[in-house]
């Protein structure tokens, strides 16, 4: 049986050896590495700002600015600006344009996620799109070929970016797992990504539409910077590490790239009970553990193995085979997958406890995401853990059916009927949503 642990003092105690941390998103101590990352900021007086004339011109033409090129690809409506910031709050027309950009990005890149929050009230839906766009772009830099831009910077030759990279390498005590050119490109982009994030908590406004919309979102919903910084840290860690030894190591990674997203989302959904933060952390852990198992085959081809090597070896699975890209489905792999899924569901149980703590009008959004990932995990088990010769995904009928069931239960069904639904779900007559 695989051990279920929560190794770090992250948000609030969960089952499995966690200690308590008081305060809302506050850390009792901060490591030198965290201090380095959190110290990245952008002073408005140190960079060129968009002139008032250019701002007025954009305001007048905002209704006519297109978001697509001739190939119908999404384009940055402010890409022609040579300055990285607005020195004062841009007009409402430009803010609406930034939110339109984020929503279109979400529709194009994450149909499943967008479907889970498209029925939210307009303001909350737009905020969720801004948060998703931030997460998407960070992941595209670290794990894709997205070329982010910071107007006026010297790129890899920027002295501040170089100093940050060198200090980060000293704290990591590890070299990059990428080739040198790719590494320099990505770590520099992530550095300037942090610079843009700092505008959301300072006096300046970024000319990047994602961060323009995100600034408005964090101000409306008081989302702390810590969770956004942690997500970028998770992306940076991917540049230095492609193997994980223990489940504790994997948990930290899952927290940084997924739990923090749950913590962002609940600030938008709204809640009063502080236990919501505890369950939001588990929500992220469940979804990322499912992602890790589903993507094992694809990750191997990218020379990444997220499954803890100690667990693989303890279960008689050749970890070296994973490292070499050699995968053989055998009698030991399927039992390991079932144990892995069983542990993931302990976090699923806690994630479901989040739902009653949220307002009824926003509950559908996380419930839909939870239901989709629960279904994916079940399909992995039914396929005997074969995530190597196929990609486990939901078809359109499954998505529509689950979404309809989630919408019915969490938007219209009275709470006193929840036990009835759960009873029918246990015998397979209704979905577990």
Matching residue, tokens 């194009």:
108
- The angle formed by the CA atoms of residues 359, 369 and 417, to the nearest 5 degrees, is 50
Q: What residue segments make up the domains of the chain, in order of their start? A: 1-17+242-405+424-433, 49-82+91-224
The rounded distance, in Å, linking the Cα atoms of 110 and 139 is 13
Comparing CA positions, the residue from 136, 236, 145, 151 lying closest to residue 188 is: 236
Task: Show pLDDT as tens, one digit a residue, over the chain (433 residues).
Answer: 566 655 444 543 333 223 333 345 555 567 888 888 888 998 766 788 887 777 777 776 766 677 887 778 898 988 888 889 888 888 899 999 999 999 999 998 887 678 788 788 999 999 999 999 999 999 999 998 888 989 888 889 999 999 999 999 988 878 899 999 999 999 999 999 999 999 999 989 999 999 999 999 999 999 999 999 999 999 999 999 999 999 999 999 999 999 999 999 999 999 999 999 999 999 999 999 999 999 998 888 888 999 999 999 898 887 666 655 555 567 788 899 999 999 999 999 999 999 999 999 899 899 999 999 999 999 999 998 888 888 888 888 888 888 888 888 888 888 777 788 788 778 777 778 7
- Reading the block at residue 428, the tokens are 């397979």
- Determine the pLDDT at residue 87: 82
pLDDT, tens only, 299-344: 888 889 999 999 998 988 876 666 555 555 677 888 999 999 999 9
Q: In what order do the strands lie in the sheet with 49-50?
A: 49-50, 85-86, 205-206
- Determine the pLDDT at residue 432: 80
Comparing CA positions, the residue from 389, 412, 373, 357 lying closest to residue 116 is: 373
- Determine the pLDDT at residue 45: 64
- Determine the pLDDT at residue 161: 93
CB crowding 34-65: b at 16 or more within 10 Å, else e: beebbebebebeebebbeeebbeebeeebeee
- Reading the block at residue 432, the tokens are 């577990």
Query: Which CATH superfamily, name and number, covers 1-17+242-405+424-433?
Result: Farnesyl Diphosphate Synthase (1.10.600.10)
Comparing CA positions, the residue from 397, 389, 401, 395 lying closest to residue 376 is: 395
The rounded distance, in Å, linking the Cα atoms of 43 and 41 is 7
pLDDT, tens only, 398-421: 888 888 888 888 888 887 777 887
Matching residue, tokens 């007048």:
60
Q: In Å, what is the CA distance from 341 to each residue of 4, 40, 310? A: 11, 38, 17
- Please enumerate in sequence order all residues whose Cβ is within 8 A of that of 206, keeping only pairs 6 or more positions apart, or say none: 84, 85, 86, 196, 199, 200, 212, 215
- Determine the pLDDT at residue 342: 94
- Determine the pLDDT at residue 20: 30
- Reading the block at residue 91, the tokens are 């007009």
């Amino acid at each position: 049986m695989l051990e279920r642990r929560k190794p770090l003092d992250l948000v609030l105690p969960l089952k499995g050896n966690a200690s308590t941390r008081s305060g809302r998103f506050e850390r009792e101590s901060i490591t030198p590495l965290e201090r380095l990352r959190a110290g990245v900021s952008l002073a408005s007086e140190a960079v060129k700002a968009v002139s008032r004339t250019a701002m007025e011109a954009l305001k007048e033409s905002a209704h006519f600015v297109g978001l697509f090129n001739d190939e119908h690809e999404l384009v940055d409506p402010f890409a022609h600006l040579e300055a990285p910031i607005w020195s004062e709050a841009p007009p409402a027309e430009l803010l609406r344009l930034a939110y339109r950009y984020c929503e279109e990005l979400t529709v194009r890149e994450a149909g499943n996620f967008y479907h889970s929050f498209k029925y939210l009230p307009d303001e909350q839906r737009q905020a969720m799109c801004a948060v998703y766009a931030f997460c998407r772009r960070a992941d595209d830099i670290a794990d894709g070929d997205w070329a982010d831009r910071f107007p006026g910077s010297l790129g890899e030759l920027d002295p501040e970016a170089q100093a940050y990279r060198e200090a980060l390498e000293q704290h990591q005590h590890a070299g990059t797992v990428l080739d040198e050119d790719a590494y320099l490109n990505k770590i520099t982009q992530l550095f300037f990504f942090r610079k843009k994030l700092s505008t959301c908590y300072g006096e300046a406004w970024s000319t990047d539409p994602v961060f323009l919309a995100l600034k408005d979102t964090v101000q409306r919903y008081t989302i702390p910077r810590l969770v956004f910084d942690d997500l970028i840290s998770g992306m940076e860690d991917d540049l230095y590490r492609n193997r994980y030894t223990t489940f504790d190591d994997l948990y930290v990674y899952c927290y940084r790239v997924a739990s923090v997203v749950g913590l962002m989302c609940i600030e938008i959904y709204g809640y009063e009970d502080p236990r919501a933060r505890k369950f939001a952390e588990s929500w992220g852990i469940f979804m990322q553990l499912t992602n890790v198992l589903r993507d094992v085959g694809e990750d191997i081809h990218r020379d990444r193995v997220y499954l803890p090597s100690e667990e693989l070896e303890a279960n008689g699975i050749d970890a070296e085979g994973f490292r070499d890209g050699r995968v053989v489905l055998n009698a030991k792999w399927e039992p390991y997958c079932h144990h892995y899924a069983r542990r993931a569901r302990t976090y699923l149980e806690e994630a479901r406890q989040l739902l009653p703590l949220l307002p009824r009008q926003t509950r559908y959004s996380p419930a839909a995401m939870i239901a989709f990932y629960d279904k994916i995990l079940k399909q992995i088990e039914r396929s005997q853990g074969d995530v190597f010769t196929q990609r486990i995904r939901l078809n359109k009928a499954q998505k529509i059916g689950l979404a309809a069931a989630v919408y019915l239960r969490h938007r219209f069904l009275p709470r006193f009927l929840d036990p009835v639904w759960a009873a029918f779900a246990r015998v397979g007559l209704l979905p577990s949503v």
